[in-house]
Amino acid sequence: MKKIITAALLLMAFATQASAAVDVLGVCAGFKGYGHDVNAGSHKRQFYEDGFSQKSILLLQVIRDGKTSYKTAEMVNGETVVDENATYLLSQNPANGTLIIFVDGSAQSYTETYLFKFHQSTGEKGSVVYTQTRNGGSPSVRIMHGECQTS
């Protein structure tokens, strides 16, 4: 389930929930990559170029009651959509600034995995590799890369 809220209300929405603090760890955009649709005819079973230029993906760190969790959000045309599905930190490596995040949207027939790399100490741009797998009416897989600005 995804919740639509405006960008200005994003932090307020989380901050009002039981002493929560929210940090935007990164805003990622300029996604380019490849897709593959499983139902395509045999002559079309190739990967094709894919991407989205009008959408940004945000990684949010939520600290509530001493516990840290993560959420992803999409920002399109100034509107922010927070993915309310279960989101898990699978791995974090402080030595190289990477986090692997998994979003379980299986109730909506999809899953997403993000490999974020942030350079917070140097201020350089970070990056993300994003994968999405869908097994609903049009089974498909996407893999894309984007650049991230960190806070």
Model confidence pLDDT, tens digit, residues 78-104: 899 999 999 999 999 999 999 999 999
Report the percent of the chain where pLDDT is more than 70: 81
Averaged pLDDT, 1-10: 42
pLDDT band at residue 3 using 50, 70 and 90 as cut-offs: very low
Assess contact for 86 and 71: CB atoms under 8 A. Answer: no
Residue 2 CA to residue 10 CA, distance in Å, equals 13
Q: How far is CA 83 from CA 32, 73, 92, 97, 106, in A?
A: 21, 6, 20, 23, 12
**pLDDT, tens only, 20-65:** 899 999 999 999 999 988 876 655 667 888 888 788 999 999 999 9
Bridge partners for 132 per DSSP:
112, 142
Q: Which residue has the tokens 């639509």?
A: 4
